[in-house]
Structures are given as C-alpha cells and as structure tokens.
Amino acid sequence: MEKTGAIDNYNARIKRVVITKEEIAEAIAKAGKEIDKLYDGRPILLVSILKGAFVFMADLCRAVSVPCEIGFMCAKSYYNGTVSTGVVKITMDLEQDISGYHVVIVEDIIDTGRTLNDVVKMLKQRNPLSLSVFTLLDKPSRRLVDFNADYALFTIPDFFVIGYGLDCGEIYRNLPYIAEYEENK
C-alpha cells in the first residue's frame, strides 16, 4: 500500500466502528479482574507482542492489581498488507529470564494462530512458572493451527480491523476504537 494514497484516503478507509472505546475499556477492566483472580497476588510478567498490542498492554497493566513487570517481544507475519505471509519472524526477544515468572502474553489479535503458536512454544521451552495468553481480538474463522487464547476480550468475524494499536501499513494504530478497514477505496 502506498503511504500517500493511504493517508489521502485515511478517513474513507474507516468502513465502520466495530468496537467502541467504551466497550474496550469495559472489557479490559473485566480482564484485569480475571488476571487478579487467576494470580491471586502472585507477581506476573506481562509480555506484549509488538507493535500491535502496545496500546492494549498499557491499559491492561493499569487494570491489574497484582504486582507485575512488563516485557516486550516483536513477532510478525504481516509486513504492510492485509494478509499474513505465513512466516513468523521474531525481531525482538525478551531480555528477562522468565523461569521465575507467571507469564501472561498480551496480544492484539489472533488470526491464523501461527504467530502465537510459535511464540508460546518458544516461551514454554524457557520454563515459566505458568503461561497464559490474553488477546484483545480473536478471529477463529481464520485459524490455520490448533491454537486458542486462554482469554479473548472480543471474538470477531473475518474482516480486516484497524485501531487501538492495530494497523494497516503502520497507520491507524492511534484510533481509540476498533474499526473495519475498507480495502477498496
């Protein structure tokens, strides 16, 4: 996608709001309580998968009351388009030794499942005390591997979404809501 064309049609490519900022805030508060209940005061390491999950991570870490540290990984299979390449590449790894942590992976969206499947396998080999996955969005109709999150805030049908950290060609991450992306404008 050419940047100039995308920027010129910025608002026209926002087809419709799918999940409002209020709905997101309510779901995150509920997820924070679920994490508090699951870990019952035990410290956790929240691991954000960059770039898409950074907004979700920021809000989720403020919604939990258990002691938490944060870490970041960058794993990608989308490179400027709206279709996964099928090749998962870890471009930034955790700096922490996770063997003494209850790890909660914070993801923006699970689509084919390949990225998270690979990340979870890799992190399990590092012997965390426990490992769970909390995803903002789940798109099970697109799953190509047998993978499910432990907790999904929203399940959506098969269309490309932007906003609240999710992008198309690196833009739209700043939208405070989740919107359907209009590819044909």
pLDDT in tens, 107-146: 999 998 988 998 999 999 999 999 999 999 999 999 999 9
What pLDDT shows up at residue 41?
A: 87
pLDDT of residue 65: 95
How would you write 21-60 as a 3-class SS string? HHHHHHHHHHHHHHHHHHHCCCCEEEEEEECCCHHHHHHH
Predicted local confidence at residue 1, as pLDDT: 45
* Side-by-side strand order, sheet with 161-162: 14-19, 178-181, 161-162
Cα–Cα dist 57/49, whole Å = 9
90 vs 106, higher pLDDT: 106
Query: How many angstroms separate the CA atoms of 45 and 24, rounded?
Result: 22
- Phi, psi of 41, deg, nearest 5: 90, -10
Rounded distance between C-alpha atoms, residue 100 and residue 85, angstroms: 34
Domain ranges of the chain: 3-181
> Residue 98 corresponds to which amino acid?
I
More confident residue, 95 or 137: 137
Q: Which CATH class is domain 3-181?
A: alpha beta
Q: How many residues does the chain have?
A: 185
What confidence score (pLDDT) does residue 11 get? 86
Which residues participate in catalysis according to the annotation? Answer: 111
pLDDT of residue 104: 98
| Single pTM value for the model | 0.88
Higher pLDDT, 85 or 173: 173
Mean pLDDT score across all residues of the chain: 90
What is the spatial order of strands in the sheet that 44-50 belongs to? 89-92, 68-76, 44-50, 102-110, 130-138, 151-155
14-42 pLDDT, tens digit each:
999 999 999 999 999 999 999 999 999 89
Whose structure tokens read 């998270």? 116
Q: What is the distance between the alpha carbons of residues 72 and 50, in angstroms, rounded to a whole number?
A: 7
Q: Is 4's pLDDT higher than 60?
A: no
pLDDT at 84: 55
Lowest mean per-residue pLDDT among 78-82, 93-97, 123-127, 170-174 = 78-82
pLDDT class of 86 with cuts at 50, 70, 90: low
153-154-158-163 Cα dihedral, nearest 10 degrees: -80
pLDDT of residue 139: 95
- Cα–Cα distance measured from residue 96 to residue 142, given in angstroms and rounded to the nearest whole number: 32
